């Protein structure tokens, strides 16, 4: 055989040998070393976002910063997704699955009382008022960690066995009134297609948990959050002669008590938790007038999709029958919010060893949370895993750590190294386990 004919064969054998060296162990070592090496830069990114927060659907400068960074990594970048969302596609040098990784970008109308050199001094318009704005939920850290993963994997793209979609999502905290946005709109605009995403991973930094801990659970992890408005229609009369009308306030009070039995006596709580809370009662104008209407406004939190439907039906039936028993009528309006954040059980079981490799015995199964997350819209389309990264500051006991969405919210930035490792390890382990 001529020497020239051997050259393509030798090149193929060399390439095959090189790729064969890309074992899980070699990838894990690379991830750990890279995460440590870039930690300082991840912190810098986080501090930049923290000092420059933007509200939901208004993440213009944030999106521009992210898009510029992804382009610097020679990715395919799409901007303006669901208004301000940014998507970067990193195609690996080897065939394999498509993994979606998501970080949210928006801040909150919450002042910052944490006196740090990079604390924000930013105001913006919210519901017609000028309000202070801060990253009081950790989305700044989410973006910084995902940027770290993007840089890490882009530097080794020729060995990457698949494709990664980096999804930087706006408006996780909810859109302004009258606007659309967030994960639901990104899905509607095709963020999970072209190329089609096989699985999606996401994480939330969690200040009340020890720094570096990873918390996860299969199935319902965060609740569906629905809003209800129950309007009781009575008949107005003088407060001295209630028998000449129909009292909507008394009826509303009985409905509140009846709603408590929906969870306590009509819901299979051994299956999953649920909460119904009335947060506002509005009726009447003065002491001696029984009004025509009373209004109850509240929230429904469920962790199981089937239970969600049943509880909605139970609320309607309970309110309607109690109203009828008093001679009143009732209108029940249930406005659906975010679905259940539902971790695919098979995917969670398969990826648990990856989380344990990163965090060791600090990777723990946790109880479900009754907070809500619109990551759930991605999980309705493809299998997903959403986990929590502990980030409690070391200078105070856990019980004294400020909760999310408060002016005193603060995190331990050192925990972000664990978050970068976790997302990258999940991505590589899934790809290697499903390589073509």
Question: Which residues are identified as catalytic?
Answer: 338, 413
Tell me the C-alpha distance between 188 and 46, whole Å.
Answer: 29
| Cβ-based neighbour number of residue 346 at 10 Å | 10
Tell me the C-alpha distance between 305 and 404, whole Å.
Answer: 26
Tell me the C-alpha distance between 77 and 69, whole Å.
Answer: 10
Tell me the C-alpha distance between 221 and 226, whole Å.
Answer: 16
Pairing of strands 363-365, 214-216: parallel
For residue 116, what is the DSSP state? -
Two tokens at 156? 């080794």
| Cβ-based neighbour number of residue 267 at 10 Å | 20
Which among 380, 307, 282 has a CA at the least distance from the CA of 339?
Answer: 380
Coil, strand or helix at 70: helix
- In degrees, rounded to 5, the angle at the alpha carbon of residue 68 between the alpha carbons of residues 416 and 116 is 40
Collect all residues with Cβ–Cβ distance below 8 Å to 341 and sequence separation of at least 6.
220, 221, 222, 223, 372, 373, 375, 376, 379, 386
Q: How far apart are the first and last CA of the chain?
A: 32
| 22 upstream amide cis, omega within 30 of 0 | no
């Amino acid at each position: 055989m001529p020497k020239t004919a051997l050259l393509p064969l030798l090149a193929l054998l060399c390439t095959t040998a090189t790729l064969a060296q890309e074992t899980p162990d070699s990838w894990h070592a690379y991830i750990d070393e890279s995460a440590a090496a870039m930690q300082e830069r991840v912190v810098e990114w986080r501090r930049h976002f923290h000092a420059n927060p933007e509200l939901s659907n208004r993440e213009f400068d944030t999106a521009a910063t992210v898009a510029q960074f992804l382009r610097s990594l020679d990715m395919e970048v799409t901007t303006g997704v669901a208004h301000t969302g940014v998507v970067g596609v990193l195609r690996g040098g080897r065939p394999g699955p498509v993994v979606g990784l998501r970080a949210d970008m928006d801040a909150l109308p919450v002042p910052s009382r944490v006196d740090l050199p990079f604390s924000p001094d930013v105001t913006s318009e919210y519901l017609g008022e000028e309000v202070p704005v801060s990253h009081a939920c950790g989305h700044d850290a989410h973006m910084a960690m995902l940027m770290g993963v993007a840089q890490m994997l882009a530097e080794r793209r020729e060995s990457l066995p698949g494709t990664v979609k980096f999804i930087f999502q706006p408006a996780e905290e909810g859109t302004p009134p009258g606007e659309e946005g967030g994960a639901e709109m990104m899905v509607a605009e095709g963020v999970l297609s072209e190329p089609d995403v096989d699985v999606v991973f996401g994480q939330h930094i969690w200040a009340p948990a020890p720094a570096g801990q990873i918390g996860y659970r299969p199935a319902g992890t965060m609740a569906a959050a629905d809003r209800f408005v129950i309007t009781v229609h009575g008949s107005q009369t003088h407060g001295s002669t209630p028998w000449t009308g129909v009292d909507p306030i008394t009826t509303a009070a009985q409905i509140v008590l009846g709603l408590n039995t929906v969870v306590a006596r009509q819901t299979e709580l051994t299956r999953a938790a649920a909460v119904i809370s009335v947060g506002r009662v509005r009726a009447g104008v003065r002491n001696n007038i029984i009004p025509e209407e009373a209004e109850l406004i509240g929230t429904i939190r469920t962790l199981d999709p089937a239970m969600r439907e049943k509880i909605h039906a139970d609320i309607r039936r309970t309110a309607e029958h109690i109203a009828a028993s008093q001679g009143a009528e009732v209108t029940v309006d249930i406005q659906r919010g975010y679905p259940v954040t539902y971790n695919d059980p098979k995917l969670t079981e398969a990826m648990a060893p990856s989380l344990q490799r990163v965090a060791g015995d600090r990777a723990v199964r946790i109880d479900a949370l009754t907070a809500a997350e619109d990551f759930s819209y991605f999980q309705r389309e493809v299998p997903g895993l959403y986990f929590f990264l502990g980030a409690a500051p070391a200078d105070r006991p856990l019980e004294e750590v400020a909760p999310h969405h408060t002016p005193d919210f603060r995190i331990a930035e050192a925990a972000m190294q664990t978050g970068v490792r976790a997302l990258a390890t999940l991505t590589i382990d899934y790809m290697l386990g499903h390589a073509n």
